Each structure stands twice: as C-alpha cells, then as structure tokens.
Amino acid sequence: MKAGKLGLLRVVVLMLVLRVSPSSSASYSRKQNGRKFMLPVPAQAMTSSLMLNRVGNSVVLPLHGNVYPDGFFDVTLNIGQPSKPYFLDPDTGSDLTWLQCDFKGPCQCFTKAPHPHYKPSNNPVPCGDPLCKSLHPPEYKCETTEQCYYELWFQDGSSTRGVLVKDTFSFNFRDGKQLEHSLVLGCGYNQTPGPFPIPNDGVLGLGKGKLSIVSQLSMDGLVRNIIGHCISVRGGGYLFFGDDHYDSSLVQWISMSNDLPEYYSPGWVELKFGGQPTGIKNLLTVFDSGSSYTYLYPPAYEALITLVKEELTGKSLKEALDDETLPLCWKGERPFKSLDDVSEYFKPIALSFANDEKDTQFEMPPEAYLIISHMENVCLGILNGTAGRNLNIIGDISMQDKVVIYDNEKQRIGWAPEKNCDQLPKSESASI
C-alpha cells in the first residue's frame, strides 16, 4: 500500500494480485512511524512442530500503520536462522510471501527497506516441488531443476524477481506455545522501485493459493485455514491466523464466488446510497487488504460521484481544488478536525450482494470511505478503478472498525462491527 494514495493493481506473472494504479492527479507524502522491534524467540523456548500438529490454535499479530497519512500497514515476522525481524505488508490479494534478499542472482538490485536484506538458509525449493508448480502454469518449463524462479510485475512500474526457498519462521501461538517451523517464501534478489516505494521488507502473502503462509501452516496441521484482520480507524489493528477471534453471532457471512475463484471475492453486488438502490449493479467485487482505498469500475465510480455531488448541493461544502491528497476533496466553512465534523454531510453507502436471499449488505458509513486531509479538508476514499475491467476492490478504508474473516475451509467471507480493533483480542495471544 502507498502513503495517502491509491493502491496498486499488481500483475504477477501468471497470477493477478489486485491493486489499482496511482492517479497522476494526487500527490502523496510518507512518514515512517515508530515501531516496536519484536525480539526473536529464544531457541530453547521453542516447541517442536509435533507438539503443535493439530488444528484449534491461532496466531495473533499486531498491525502497524494507518490508511492516512501513512497509507500502509505492516506486521513483524521473525524469519531465518538466526531469526531476525522483518516488516511485511499483509496482502490478501497475493499468495507469495517474499523478502528482499541477499542472494547471488543474475542481478542484485534493491529498494530501500527498514532492515538489512534477508539472507536465506541454504535450502532452495526445486522446480518440481508442488508449491513451485502452483506458481506457474502447467506448460511452464524449468530453467533449472534445482531452483524455482519467480517474477512479479506491478502496474505502477515496480517489479521483483527471485527464487523460492525454505526457511524458518518463528511463531508464538495463542495457547502460549512457541514454534519454529519451515515454510516456503520468495527470496527477491532483483527489485525495481515504483514511484511510491513501500517502506517494508516485503509482502506477507495471505491469498487462497497453496503458497499462502496460512495455507502452508494449515497443510502442516498447525492452524485452521482461516485468516482475519481488524483495522482500526484510529490506526493499527491486528491480524490473526487460525481459530476465531470474533463473536460469531454478530458475523454476516457471504459465500466466496466462483467467478473469481482464486481471490477473496463475494461475487456481484449492487451499490446502495443512503439506504436506497442506485441502479448501479453487477459490480464484481474483491476484498483486498493490500489496497489502502476502495475502488469502483469507472462507470460505477462516475455514477457514485454524481450522487455524492447531488447530495452536497446547497450544503456549505466546496470542492478543494488546491488539495491533491486524493482526487476529490471538499473544504468547509471551518477546518475539519475529525470525521465526526463531516458525518452530517454524507450518507452511508452499502454493497448489497446479488443472489443472496438474506439481502446481506456490507455497510460503509462515512468514516469508512472518507479521510480528513493534512489541509483539514474532507476527501473521498473511494477511487476510480481499472478501466476496461469490471473489477471493484473493497480496500482497507472500508474495512476499518470491522473484523473481516476469510474462511478458506468453508469458502466464505464474513464481517462484524468492532470498535476496539486497536486492542489485541483478550486471550493468551502473543505476537511474533
């Protein structure tokens, strides 16, 4: 995710990782906020994987960052031998976890990162490995049988190239047990920066594929194949793998769609504005924690802008043409200090899911699609999406103050209101 800006539409070789390209009309600033370094777990405190070889456990990780002004989130994972901390962008739109890596590849080109580059253990993944095959189409031919290469391109012009390796991840589980476990990740030895580089060491792939960290943990019997996150409107939050950290009686569930089976998609939705149908229908939608903002297919975006502007007619808001924080901002008679100051001007938006007899809706109150800019204006955090494809992304801004659950075992997505996302769940949970 990028600072105070649009997300990316990342195109991965033979895979699509959902992002939307940045708008030239917006300017962005970054600042690196302070983070607590998580010390590696002492080796003598570790539990063998055989003692944890069961489901019914979970891992909880604090999220650092915010939608605005930072525009990105990260979690800390300890990886390698010896174990060292790295900041990773948690991305439900990507399967592969990868780090910038000190590896003797054809070219060693890196972008700025908060930690020294990861040095892998000498444990490459061969090209014939099932996890390598899951990264490539059936017709892919190995350059060498000893090594599994990957290459990812991003629409903003950035890219990463590397090899798959196996290395040790250090986990603290909710029940108090600690574990070192070998998992496959990407060792990225050739990175090309985009115009707005992310200040992280790499990406934590949380997608539905076999390479996803949670998929690997689940296949090894350590956690259930369930992912969830809770993003606070005040910044921060938490991410969890495995058993539930939510009140199941409050969760609204929708089945994952077969129209985009490789992504966390609830399928087709209709847009509602102020509780009323808008006629904006047949929007193919994806939940993506790797996008700071929410994106609508251009015709739907333009229709929503028309509705918002009509609703503001006669009110004391004027477009702030000098504020380039996001493409559309308004100024009031007085500077806005918080979103509480603007809620009276804007109506709630909802996504109503097609083919759902219960009329399940994903509700977005004003604070789930607006920000207050550094110029103390209010800006619309729903942005113009990808031209040429009816693809609509529910990003972090719209998932704030909600627990969002991706249940890969039952093939469903759920959400429930939660006002304390900036507090870890009350349990014996521990971070990495």
CA angle in degrees (0–180, nearest 5) for 197-200-205: 105
**From CA 410, how far away is CA 226, in angstroms rounded?**
9
Residue 305: strand, helix, or coil: helix
Catalytic entry in 288, 323, 396, 407: 288
Fill in the amino acid letter for 182: S
Residue 133 parent element (H or E): helix 130-133
For residue 179, report the phi and psi dihedrals to the nearest 5 degrees: -150, 140
Task: Decide: 85 and 40 in contact? Cβ < 8 Å.
Answer: yes
**From CA 305, how far away is CA 320, in angstroms rounded?**
15
Give CA separation, 16 vs 26, 275, 364, 406, in Å: 25, 33, 26, 18
Assess whether the previous peptide bond of 22 is cis (omega < 30° from 0).
no
**From CA 376, how far away is CA 369, in angstroms rounded?**
16
Task: Decide: 230 and 414 in contact? Cβ < 8 Å.
Answer: no
Catalytic entry in 70, 74, 89, 91: 91
The residues, any chain, with a CB within 8 Å of residue 381's CB and separated by 6 or more, are 67, 68, 293, 294, 326, 369, 370, 371, 395, 397, 398
Task: Decide: 73 and 237 in contact? Cβ < 8 Å.
Answer: yes
Task: Decide: 414 and 251 in contact? Cβ < 8 Å.
Answer: yes
Task: Count CA atoms within 13 Å of residue 247 on its CB side.
Answer: 8
Number of other CB atoms surrounding residue 259 within 10 Å = 12
Residues pairing with 276 in the sheet: 273
Helices (H), 246-360: 298-312
- DSSP annotation of 38: P
91 catalytic, yes or no? yes
Strand 72-79 with 159-172, pairing:
antiparallel
Nearest by Cα to 393 from 8, 4, 3? 8
Active site residues: 91, 288
